[in-house]
Structure 1
């Protein structure tokens, strides 16, 4: 009798579990997913990360109602490759999109979108795509060609046509995303990716935001006048605010405002162009009267860069707020995962630079906040290493779908819901492009305290940093006396990660000796 009752109890429990699962499925409890990917948005410019450059109330809302990932990183700090990693859950050498100069995305390969779609999701990508080929595996897409334009942007449509939409690109992209949401099949869960162009170069704000930060004087980063001692790759880069930021193209300083040829400006309607001229022309006249040079000019350029960049970011945050408001109004908030991340970090004057690419923290580290009501406790702050590589398996995990075995990322959900969960003790990076901004290709490892980097092609060198003693990464310790054991240990850890991720190119470079075995 006891045995029979036990069997009945087991059967009853199994039935109850099945019923609850079935009920959840009937009610469509697979979560909806909204992923917002910006371009070149620095964590330093987000108030949720403690930055005081500006306030970002809407990104902060996601963080407050979900999780702030304080150690979010990318596998390859450049626009197109990052998107390929997010889609595939694989490193660049596996998904084939290594750089922006020679790569095009092979859409035949599996992506988390395709797996979601097979699992019953309706899927869409709206906005910046930047992967050369047309999206595959989506129910709907409407994408900017290439980098897209800030004003009155064109969109590539699924039927092969181009459609120009009047307005500022960040607002327009949100409009299109909401239009798709209005027309979606409400019987299915959805996954919508919103690709925003902001805050990509040339940092052209919405006319409503011109001058937003003109009353603020930004403090120079401590490393603005870095001389790059002991760092060969840093010495040959071409991403200096002082030397490489272009007065007309980047900073909108023109001798003749009637003949501006920058892509977004020539698309402006008369009203937009009149506001552009009215804002920038007096700044140019004032600059000309000052006749600045040397450090004074470099610091003037830095202030202009910051003002335009942050004004462009203001529109980005505002439109993220529109997305959150839409979910609220439609009663979707409680069953929708919202992820915000940038495709990588960005230099905001640190080391005297703009742009990204390097494995140094400002570029390598990316903002990433995630809200999942009922699953992730509001106000969670995670110190686990996570990567853009992890977005794909995390979304599949949340949807209750099997993660393909060839995905190299790991679901973040255990780290965000279980205090005892153990994450990575080190992360691997590999940047390939050897062109614009003259940044030497490199790969490396980061642990909680140390970073080891191997540069190649343009510059052949190793770099080693103690991030506890040297958080600004100014003192290359590689080859220094007393660091032999640490270097050997990090080399072994790096070898393990190279093997784990099957990066044969990095493996061959590790075996290649560098003359003098030092970068100094």
Structure 2
């Protein structure tokens, strides 16, 4: 009888433990900074192989029409956290403060019983709300021997930032994850953000590689046909006889003109002075945070490049200098991605080894797209595809069929509501995105979005990109540049995927212009954006 009581006691305890274990899915959100979709081999293998990031697509879904609402780092992150456009969450640019009265999806998940952790680069705010534990870089952070802000104070960790962020993440999974709770894990890389400093182990491999030049590297920014017959409809403004796109031509992110030899291409100040070159950031040194061994390894890889540049520079013209800068850009940019891919693989391996992968939604994305020489550019900000579109790969075993490519129009605006629905949490009514669940689970008929909205604010500002808003469908993109200019651009995305020919003033497209303008106005109303808000943020910016 005593034995029977003991057995029943164990059975009751086992049942209670089983009942208390929350079986809702875990969520692992992986985001890199400025990771262009062109630099993920699941999209294109022309530049680099990323086998570990590709695993997410092979085991799940690859989105080919994912985009952002505002292509700049901190505002994009604010949109992701709040599920609201920049004009409502208040974080319109990298300068303005994030309004901490905003409710974020991690806060809601924590309140609903999720254990929450964030490791890596947030880019704004030192005390992110809704996290049981965080270790984040201050601001942009450093590639070598970075500082971290934590729940328990600041610390400096020796090593390479991408590796360290992964170590911190896995340490949390291994030692502080509560097995009875589902978790939200935000694993956020600094790389491949400028100034693109690869890990020591990749220096010699990538500094010796060369890459194909983009077709539009030498873009002259002519977009409008001169002398076009534009006597068409009332919706068309006065004739634009300027053959150039003012916004494209005046943007300060051209590789030849605005990419620096010191900060970006790692040519030392002494060499620049010897060659008679003067430019911004000449006092920059990549050695600033390196220890002696790191510095030796760095110099061993870069000193031959510097010596070769000394010899070649006097014979270079504008075109050959631009091509040289492009190669240096790609060597360092892609070198940082190599470490990201390796570390994503390490995390995926951990999840599989501990059988966490079976009940975990894994997302890989970037805070926006990035120009890898297209149109002669680096950086982002403009609504053209390489900046506007962002990589998005999602896997969720037993829910997402493996190997699916999805071309529906989705945005970073949609993440908050997706994660809340995955967790069974009702989203606040003021969130503006759409849960991706119908697309993830095979209920595509329930998806009804045919256009996405975009608005960029940071002008005057770094890179001199004009303020603009616009709308994109699968076939067309309409952009309005405003503030100190009033210019419109329309692109036929099927016939002109590289967005080289503005057909806004083409008589054959005037019906499309009318339709897209109407859709743009309806969308601005839907998302509660307006001319009044434009003026408000312009005045706020001036102050």
Normalising by the residue count of structure 2, what TM-score does the alignment of the two structures yield?
0.86
Work out which of the residue numbers 380, 389, 409 in structure 2 matches 1:385.
Answer: 409
Q: Give 3-state SS (helix, strand or coil) of 2:303's partner.
A: helix
Distance 1:238 1:492, change over 3 A: same
Corresponding position of 1:302: 326
Report runs of 4+ in structure 1 exceeding 6 Å deviation: 22-25, 506-509
Q: Distance in 1 between matches of 2:260 and 2:286?
A: 16
- Is residue 464 of structure 1 aligned with residue 457 of structure 2? no
Corresponding position of 1:454: 480
Give the CA deviation at 1:29: 1.7
Q: Give 3-state SS (helix, strand or coil) of 2:446's partner.
A: coil
Give the CA deviation at 1:175: 0.7
Q: Distance in 2 between matches of 1:295 and 1:137?
A: 50
1:157-180 CA distances to partner (integer Å, 9 max, x unpaired)?
223x32000000000011111112
1:109-137 CA distances to partner (integer Å, 9 max, x unpaired)?
21111111111001111110111452112
- Is residue 173 of structure 1 aligned with residue 165 of structure 2? yes
Q: Which runs of 5+ in 2 are unaligned?
A: 1-15, 223-243, 274-281, 536-543
Give the CA deviation at 1:263: 6.6
Q: Which runs of 5+ in 1 are unaligned?
A: 1-21, 510-520
Is the 1:105–1:133 Cα contact (8 Å) retained in structure 2?
no
Is the 1:90–1:407 Cα contact (8 Å) retained in structure 2?
yes
- Is residue 274 of structure 1 aligned with residue 313 of structure 2? no
Corresponding position of 2:389: 365
Corresponding position of 2:540: none
Give the CA deviation at 1:256: 4.0
Distance 1:55 1:458, change over 3 A: farther
- Is residue 241 of structure 1 aligned with residue 266 of structure 2? no
Corresponding position of 2:345: 321
1:170-191 CA distances to partner (integer Å, 9 max, x unpaired)?
0001111111222122221110
Q: Give 3-state SS (helix, strand or coil) of 1:211's partner.
A: helix
Q: Distance in 2 between matches of 1:156 and 1:264?
A: 22
- C-alpha root-mean-square deviation of aligned residues, in Å? 1.9
Is the 1:211–1:307 Cα contact (8 Å) retained in structure 2?
no
Is the 1:495–1:507 Cα contact (8 Å) retained in structure 2?
no
Work out which of the residue numbers 488, 496, 504 in structure 1 matches 2:522.
Answer: 496
Distance 1:171 1:219, change over 3 A: same
1:264-323 CA distances to partner (integer Å, 9 max, x unpaired)?
521100000011111111101111111223111110110111111111100011111111
- Is residue 38 of structure 1 aligned with residue 32 of structure 2? yes
Distance 1:459 1:275, change over 3 A: farther
- Is residue 163 of structure 1 aligned with residue 155 of structure 2? yes
- Is residue 85 of structure 1 aligned with residue 99 of structure 2? no
Work out which of the residue numbers 141, 147, 151 in structure 1 matches 2:144.
Answer: 151
Corresponding position of 1:11: none
Give the CA deviation at 1:357: 0.3
Distance 1:506 1:240, change over 3 A: farther
Work out which of the residue numbers 414, 418, 421 in structure 2 matches 1:394.
Answer: 418
Map residues 258-273 of structure 1 onto 2, 5 A cutoff: 262=284, 265-273=287-295
1:472-498 CA distances to partner (integer Å, 9 max, x unpaired)?
111112223232221111000001110
Work out which of the residue numbers 286, 290, 298 in structure 1 matches 2:308.
Answer: 286
